[in-house]
Structure 1
Amino acid sequence: MKNEIVTYTILKAKGLQLEQVEDCVVQEIPLTIHFNREEIATLLCSPSQIEELTLGFLLNEGFIRVPEDISEIRQDPKDHLVWVEGKPCLLQKELMTKRFVSACCGKSRASFCFANDALMVKPLTSKHSITLTEAYGYTAFLQSPLPLFQATGGIHSGGVGYQGQVVLTSYDIGRHNVFDKLNGSAFRSGLQLDNHVIFFSGRVSSEILLKVAKMKVPILIARGAPTDMAISQASALNITIIGFAREQRLNIYTCPERIMV
């Protein structure tokens, strides 16, 4: 955690009194990802789980599908660079540049902003369900701040759960990066997520919902609120959204049949 914290001297106000104190600030780095010797993107992120973030990003953006698509991954921690070599992606340029809006699942919802979203996202068929007790267990994880959050207050966190157990965790300054790291971790370990739960410290926007859909996770538990577009997409894609998950209370917005009393 030490290399993820930067200390600054600041002025802290209490009422009309100013005090000079040392304050811990979370570190942010620009990570540039190359795929088959071509620069793909620069992500602003926390300097942790870099390979998992890279793999999750490439997976979510459609550059890779299975572990066999990757032949090599290497990084330069000093300059924050990652190089991935793998099977050629025929739609590489189109995936990063072609923007359009299409209807979600044929129901005339303006949902998809990138070509790979429309290509990769389909309604889920999972019949996986959990109990309220299990849901509250994952909520308890979100209520136990990580040491880095306690020191800086500057990160999002999340995890993957199965049968009440936390099987994967991640954190980052960027909420999107949390999901890419989880997806990359699952990808590396060969873990299929179609009967798992994702829990997350932030709110649920349409972009976050699409990340979950690409990961094929049927249940999302969030500490924050969903947006209307996220709810609309979740209904069309058969994903259960739980929001405002705090202690022994939560709101179920979509597909409530997956939550058992």
Structure 2
Amino acid sequence: MFDQTFGPSVDIDVTCFKGGAQECVRQPVATEVPCTLQVNGDELGTMLCTPADLKEFAVGYLFTSGLIQGIDEFRDFYCDERTWRLDITTTHRIDPALLGKRIYTSGCGRGVMYDNMINLAARHPLENSFSIEPERLVACMRWLLGCSQLHRDTHGVHTVAVSLNGDIPDVYFDDIGRHNAVDKALGHCLLQGVDLTWALLMGTGRISSEILQKVKRAGVPLLLSRGAPTHQTVLQARDMGITVVGFARGGNFTVYSHPERVSFGSVSV
């Protein structure tokens, strides 16, 4: 049995079979805890998470789910690391009618989105002149794939980061769930007051529609991933004015929507 309090990884005894031989060793595995979000005393739900950057996760989740409109509505946060209850205080009570309109997503840990956020995200496509050179996209993804020690140790987490103007970020976020990692990265930006008008969000996982909805909610114009998008992601991204770049591996990538934001001028195509 594990203790109730632990870090992002836990060392366990395993039996490996390599080269025709059996070996008993100790290896780190990614930690998974059930975090219960309680907002103003009302239980919102329980999410399976990596126990790190949980304040950022809580802020990002409330915002990208449409339950708060901005960081000014966030008041306080406390994490009980024995029970993994996240107590959050906001300026207003969450509308109970809204909580009944849930859509269960394809994300790890059975993520949840709320109906009003999806309706709002479909309105007002993003329109800005943000553009980025292909070389910067390649450099950002190369950095992302090598930045996480937790991923190197466990191979059990997704990594997400936000780049401003295509620069290499200073911080990244890991989680067993790719949607959780997105919430952590966007929550960090909200807490720091980062302007996301000229930003790109990069991740290591599949680009499903709930990830796109979160990015649109935050006003991020470009989404970059090593993984591939679903067809709903592509269709919605074209309507929302978001550039989706997938299969970013080994210096190559595919642009699925709004390619005008990628400056191919110096590249032969």
Whether these two folds match at TM > 0.5 is yes
Q: What value does the CA root-mean-square deviation take over the aligned residues?
A: 1.9
Report what 1:50 is aligned to.
54
Report what 1:236 is aligned to.
239
Paired-residue identity, %: 31
The correspondence of residues 45-194 of structure 1 with structure 2, limited to 5 A, is 45-89=49-93, 92-99=95-102, 114-122=115-123, 123-165=125-167, 166-194=169-197
Q: Deviations over 1:57-104 (max 9, x none)?
A: 1111222122321222222122111111222246x223221258xxxx
Q: How many pairs were matched up?
A: 248
TM-score by length of 1: 0.89
Q: Deviations over 1:201-236 (max 9, x none)?
A: 111011111111111111111001111111111111
Kindly indicate whether residue 8 of structure 2 is the aligned counterpart of residue 7 of structure 1: no
Letter of the aligned partner of 1:119 in structure 2? L
> Alignment partner of 1:203: what SS?
coil
Kindly indicate whether residue 217 of structure 2 is the aligned counterpart of residue 217 of structure 1: no
Q: CA deviation at 1:182?
A: 1.1
* Contact map agreement 1:95 1:116 (CA 8 A) in 2: no
What stretches of structure 2 of length at least 5 have no aligned partner?
Answer: 1-5, 104-112, 265-269
Letter of the aligned partner of 1:31 in structure 2? C
Q: Deviations over 1:100-133 (max 9, x none)?
A: 8xxxxxxxxxxx9723311344321222111111
Give the distance between the partners of 2:70 and 2:28, measured in 1 at CA: 39
Letter of the aligned partner of 1:206 in structure 2? S
Give the distance between the partners of 1:48 and 1:248, measured in 2 at CA: 31
Q: CA deviation at 1:27?
A: 0.6
Report what 1:103 is aligned to.
none
Q: CA deviation at 1:8?
A: 1.7
Q: CA deviation at 1:257?
A: 0.3
* Contact map agreement 2:74 2:91 (CA 8 A) in 1: yes
Q: CA deviation at 1:14?
A: 2.6
Q: Cα gap change, 1:227/1:113 in structure 2, threshold over 3 Å: closer, same or farther?
A: farther
Report what 2:267 is aligned to.
none
> Alignment partner of 1:143: what SS?
helix
Give the distance between the partners of 2:255 and 2:186, measured in 1 at CA: 24
Give the distance between the partners of 2:181 and 2:66, measured in 1 at CA: 18
TM-score by length of 2: 0.86
> Alignment partner of 1:119: what SS?
helix
Kindly indicate whether residue 38 of structure 2 is the aligned counterpart of residue 34 of structure 1: yes
> Alignment partner of 2:129: what SS?
coil
Q: CA deviation at 1:164?
A: 3.0
Report what 1:248 is aligned to.
251
Q: Deviations over 1:112-165 (max 9, x none)?
A: 972331134432122211111111111111231511111111010011111332
